[in-house]
Amino acid sequence: METALCLCFIVLPLVFATIAYAYMLSFRQTVSQSAAEGARIAAVAPSTASDADRKAAAIKAASQSMDTGVGDLKCNEGSLTCTAVMVPGCEDGSTATCVKVTISYPYRDKSLLPTIPGLGFTLPKTISYAAMVQVS
């Protein structure tokens, strides 16, 4: 009898919480990799490319990268927000220009897995990652 109670109220929630947290970490890795991929594409664009073309290419690359990961999400469709902005001075006061790609997803509100009541507080409210590279 005690074993059944332990399994129901202690072991199973721990197993499900471990799976949910591992899945969230996998999703976070996909978000960070996708932001880095978008920034990389903006950095290697031809020198004749306009800022708008660089930003569009970055968003497209980030979206394609997100599509290959967990969750099957695309940039700016649904709750996944992807932005690419040009940053004059690269936030360090230099004369260069950088592009910053940011991907954000409201993970706690739109969890990719069902959550067990009471364990949702352990998951982050938002998963967000930004990658910045110098383009000129």
- Please give the model's pTM, rounded to 2 decimal places: 0.88
**Six-digit token pair at 118?**
């009471």
DSSP annotation of 99 reads E
Q: pLDDT, tens digit, for every residue of 1-47?
A: 677 776 677 787 788 888 888 889 999 999 999 999 999 999 999 98
Pairwise CA distance, residues 7 & 118, whole Å: 17
Domain of 130 in residue numbering reads as 2-134
Domain count, the chain: 1
